[in-house]
Structure 1
């Protein structure tokens, strides 16, 4: 990266941070986390933002990127990796071994919860449970991952009640990907909020402790308005992606 690229990255990052803060204040939303989605981007860019104080980074590819990046950046002790890609059963063990893995946001099946509970090493993680988010397919598009909204409660109950799961896993909240053609009333975000309310009502989990990961580069502002506590922004910070580099 030359000096111009570095300055552009920092300027983009500051702009998004300012927008998140502005919308959060406007709608009285507190502590909205910004996850910088760094998939297909070089570790150099991640390191630059880390040096600017950023800690939360999102990745989509386990073998191709996350493992390699986490090893190259192992000295950044405060980095928090968010896994936001599709989960393949044969890669769960690899994913669970990533240093500084903070949360897996894309769990959609009981079988996946079981495998993470089996693979997560409490001793290596300083007796810290693995944070889990349940991905909900709020738009019910066939092309998207996530459980059906009606199945969300059952999956959360399993996560917090099953003996093996609750020993190793911590239910952090819910995640969704909003439709790119959403109307102003944002039905996907409304649906996730309804799921959150239903979970709190039927499990005893405090409403305020259930986080919502919703909103990306094109829709993070309305997501915050509707109650998102974590937005995932990639291209608006890092620029367009080159998917040829992920392999």
Structure 2
């Protein structure tokens, strides 16, 4: 099937409240344009340099999402155009995003990454660190970032029960954290689920899925 057919098939299965991020990392601009011409406007990249090059070449009505792990010293390169940063996992990184956004007189939306997987390699905050961050005076004083939700990645396993348990855990943390509303924190997005597990993630309450290989083919 073509990229266009893959995309239309996936979109036909998604509930209306679920946002599709087409994960286009490592794929050429021609492939992204095929998805764009089929109506896709939200693309996710995991390397800032690659995302910036694509942003320069492609139509300007695209929403670019940074879905990879972000190094503080690279933030400045994407601030002019990035729409949402998914993997924010520390107060330090949030401070740098806020600082760079202030230079551009912009507000940047962020998702805080929660560690739900059993693998040690995955980044993220635990529930206590999340609450501590959202309640901190340092965070509340940031006027150029807005935390609009949480994201997390399940363990890479065939065990559906384990994946479901991890997604349910993230949904529970999300529901509890929603009460912590401040000027720069209104949690309405729960990003979990990728090509292999997005239907299960939606069943568990995800409102944003990141799908790459099911659209563009394997890498």
The alignment's TM-score, normalised by the length of structure 2, stands at 0.90
2:140 to 134, 146, 162: 162
Task: Provide the rounded CA distance (Å) in 1 between the counterparts of 2:124 and 2:42.
Answer: 22
Change (3 A) 1:159 1:137: farther
Q: Which has the higher helix share?
A: 1
Task: Provide the rounded CA distance (Å) in 2 between the counterparts of 1:39 and 1:161.
Answer: 31
Change (3 A) 1:102 1:37: same
Task: Provide the rounded CA distance (Å) in 2 between the counterparts of 1:51 and 1:159.
Answer: 45
Alignment of 1:45-124 (within 5 A): 45-63=31-49, 65-73=50-58, 76-97=59-80, 99=81, 101-121=82-102, 124=104
5+ long unaligned stretches in structure 1: 1-6, 25-29, 242-247
TM-aligned CA deviation for residue 36 of structure 1: 0.3
Task: Provide the rounded CA distance (Å) in 2 between the counterparts of 1:209 and 1:145.
Answer: 20
The alignment's TM-score, normalised by the length of structure 1, stands at 0.80
Alignment of 1:1-247 (within 5 A): 8-20=2-14, 24=15, 30-63=16-49, 65-73=50-58, 76-97=59-80, 99=81, 101-121=82-102, 124=104, 128-158=106-136, 161-163=139-141, 165=142, 167-181=143-157, 182-184=159-161, 186-201=164-179, 203-204=180-181, 209-241=187-219
With a CA cutoff of 8 Å and minimum separation of 6, indicate the structure with the bigger relative contact order: 1
C-alpha contact 2:134 2:140 (8 A) present in aligned 1: no
C-alpha contact 2:191 2:208 (8 A) present in aligned 1: yes
C-alpha contact 1:152 1:195 (8 A) present in aligned 2: no
C-alpha contact 1:34 1:230 (8 A) present in aligned 2: yes
